[in-house]
Amino acid sequence: MAADVWPITDSFAAEIGDVDLSQPVDDADWAIIEDAYNTYSVLVFPDQQLPTDQHVGFAQRFGSVDHSMQKSMDVEDERLPSTLADVSNLDRTGNVMTPDNRMIDFQRGNRLWHTDSSFKPTPANASCLYMKSIPPVGGQTEFADARAAWDALDPELQTRIEGRVAIHSIATSRARLGFEMTAEENANYPRVPQAMVRTHRASGRKSIYLASHAGSIIDMPDSEATALIDQLMAHATQPQFVYSHRWRVNDLVIWDNKCVFHRGRPFDDLRWPRDARRATSLDIGPTIEQEGLELPAQTAL
Ligand code: OGA
Ligand code: MN
């Protein structure tokens, strides 16, 4: 039986049935999945049994695998291999983290609207988030359609941001919640430039590209840039652009970071285990290259 697509809205988010991702995906199913990915941007695959190899292998179909930054952070041994980003609230022994665990604060950074790995020169393409246990209340993940947000953006604002470049850094998003990166961690993740408007290579649709990681805009005073970033994020995350996913155990949800913002919703993370693990594929290159933009000479990031 071939994979089938069950739209959640006409153009954003769909459920995919009749596909078992623990088995190799054949060409016919892959064509259906890829087309749905390029159309809906968020896909929900319910009831999957995914060993790590199959989980990572599926992400790899969208691009080369992104390695988790946790390996380069000042933390104890990780619970998961570096091919998975551990977005759970569990420590390496599988217990709920205690308040003194530095990583609980780091994980709370995922509660701010963002797109994955935009603080890396080549950011993420598809994120594949697999849920092994869920809290009884809270802990949904929200997704915002940055293509629809672009389409609905005031034309004057469209003109103002097209061709512009924002500076992204993991330290920026973490500082918003009072989490301090060490000097060494910051040295591993220098600030990077990203196009503020992207064109989707499969659908041709434009989207706003920003995140909580973005803190400034090249050739714009900081006060103006911060206000503009806030205004654009507020616009893009209005309810009409958002799908909220209530997790079931063994859901795999994938999204296109090129044109989707997402955030995790709060839950009592010192009480309930939420075992969320993400395999992520990288995009094909830096966004400014893809958009044909050049940084002004001598730009200080
Ligand atoms: C992620 C992420 C949010 C959540 O996996 O990239 O931001 O709800 N997750 O776990
Ligand atoms: Mn994320």
The number of distinct structural domains making up the chain is 1
CA–CA dist 217, 296 (Å, integer): 12
- The CA distances from residue 81 to 52, 68, 86, 221, 253, in Å, are 9, 8, 9, 41, 20
Strand partners, 244: 142
CA–CA dist 165, 121 (Å, integer): 13
What range does the domain containing 279 cover? 4-290
Q: Is the dihedral of CA 157, 158, 162, 165 positive or negative?
A: positive
Does 184 fall in a domain?
Answer: yes
Read off the pTM.
0.97
DSSP tag of 217: E
Does 297 fall in a domain?
Answer: no
Q: 31-85 pLDDT, tens per residue?
A: 999 999 999 999 999 999 999 999 999 999 999 999 988 777 767 678 999 999 9
Does 190 fall in a domain?
Answer: yes
Does 83 fall in a domain?
Answer: yes
For residue 13, the domain's CATH number is: 3.60.130.10
Does 298 fall in a domain?
Answer: no
Does 177 fall in a domain?
Answer: yes
Nearest-CA residue for ligand 1 atom 10 is: 264
140 CA: nearest ligand 1 atom: 8
Q: 180-231 pLDDT, tens per residue?
A: 899 999 999 999 999 999 999 999 999 999 999 999 999 999 999 999 999 9
Residue of 267, 278, 281, 282 with the most ligand 1 atoms within 8 Å of its CB, for mutation: 278
262 CA: nearest ligand 1 atom: 7
Q: Which of 61, 37, 58, 40 is nearest to 49 (CA)?
A: 58
114 CA: nearest ligand 1 atom: 7
Does 106 fall in a domain?
Answer: yes
Does 167 fall in a domain?
Answer: yes
Residue 49 Cα to ligand 1 midpoint, Å, equals: 19
174 lines ligand 1 (CB under 6 A): no
Q: 129-151 pLDDT, tens per residue?
A: 999 999 999 999 999 999 999 99
